[in-house]
Every structure is written in structure tokens, then in C-alpha cells.
């Protein structure tokens, strides 16, 4: 079986955009990861000749009551099935309560976490990414999933953590 990289974070931070950026919309959807439900979509991905399984999480209603709890639960499940966790935060918004809740789950998981500061679309916004050090999950990796900025550097960090 391939190593599993799970993408977690609250709604609208850009998880699915990042997944599409990584897979280039070319790879097939696979459904063979144990515990995968319709809330988790699994793809086969490849970077520098190394193959891995990429799991996109989400699918809940951001307006639902108890949303933060559901996200934290989803992060817990993802952490259990993953070899590396790609935690996506929206650097243009900064740290929210839901981000804190996910961060707490991931710090407890003991799994390697790559903290991704998304929506860093230009060099000026890299300063905003530094704010995410406060999550206590190491160095934030600034990327723009939408434009592809630094996404290769991010994948290098992910593969180093595998």
C-alpha cells in the first residue's frame, strides 16, 4: 500500500484546490483506503517519481451546528489513517477557533504535520504566514493553491516527512 497524506482543515481554506493542484486533475479517484467515507475523497498522486495516496477531507455544511466539533472529529479520523497530515490554514484570514481545534487534535496525534499557509498569492502576503507559528506545529509553508505558488516546495517538505 502507498503512504497516505491526508489534507485537513476547516471549510474554505483551499483544501480541494490544493488537492487538485497536486494531482493536476489527472489521477484517478481511488476508494481503497480503509475508513474512507463519502466525506473523504482519495486520489493517487505522484511527486518526483514517488507515489502516495492523497485524501481530501470535508463535505460538511459550514453552517451546521457543532461544525467545529465535526471538523475536529474529521481531523482525528484523518490523523489516524494518515502517515503525514497536511494541515491547511487560510493565511489571509489568520487563525480561527476551528483552526485552533484542529491544531490541538493534530498536536496530540503524534503524526508528522506539515502546516500549510494557503492563499499566500504574492510575496507581501508571506508575512501573514508567519502568524501561523502560533499554532505550535512548526514552520508554516506559504503556498498559493490557486496559482501554484511554492506548491512544489510544499510537496518536497511533505515527501521529506514520509
Cβ-based nearer residue to ligand GDP, 73 or 121: 121
Among 53, 116, 144, 150, the residue binding ligand GDP under the rule CB under 6 A is 144
- Binders of Mg ion among 30-89, rule CB under 5 A? 58
Using only C-alpha atoms, the chain has a radius of gyration, in whole angstroms, of 14
Angle at 83 between CA 79 and CA 86, to 5 degrees: 65
Residue the block writes with cell 489527472: 26
CB of 16 to Mg ion, least distance (A): 3
Among 8, 16, 85, 135, the residue binding ligand GDP under the rule CB under 6 A is 16
Shortest CA distance to 85 belongs to which of 162, 2, 1, 148? 162
Residues 6+ apart with CB under 8 A from 108: none
Cβ-based nearer residue to ligand GDP, 79 or 145: 145
For binding to ligand GDP (CB under 6 A), which residues are involved? 9, 11-17, 58, 118-119, 121, 144-146
**Site residues (vs Mg ion, CB under 5 A):** 15-16, 58
Amino acid at each position: 500500500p502507498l503512504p497516505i497524506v491526508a489534507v485537513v482543515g476547516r471549510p474554505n481554506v483551499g483544501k480541494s484546490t490544493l488537492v487538485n493542484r497536486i494531482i493536476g486533475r489527472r489521477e484517478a479517484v481511488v476508494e481503497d483506503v480503509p475508513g474512507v467515507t463519502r466525506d473523504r475523497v482519495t486520489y493517487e498522486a505522484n511527486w518526483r517519481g514517488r507515489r502516495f495516496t492523497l485524501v481530501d477531507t470535508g463535505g460538511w455544511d459550514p453552517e451546521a451546528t457543532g461544525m467545529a466539533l465535526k471538523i475536529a472529529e474529521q481531523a482525528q479520523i484523518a490523523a489516524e489513517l494518515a502517515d503525514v497530515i497536511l494541515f491547511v490554514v487560510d493565511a489571509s484570514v489568520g487563525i480561527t477557533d476551528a483552526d485552533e481545534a484542529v491544531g490541538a487534535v493534530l498536536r496530540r496525534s503524534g503524526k508528522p504535520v506539515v502546516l500549510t499557509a494557503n492563499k499566500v498569492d504574492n510575496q507581501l502576503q508571506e508575512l501573514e504566514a508567519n502568524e501561523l507559528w502560533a499554532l505550535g506545529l512548526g514552520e508554516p509553508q506559504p503556498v498559493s493553491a490557486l496559482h501554484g505558488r511554492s506548491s512544489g516546495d510544499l510537496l518536497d517538505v511533505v515527501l521529506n516527512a514520509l
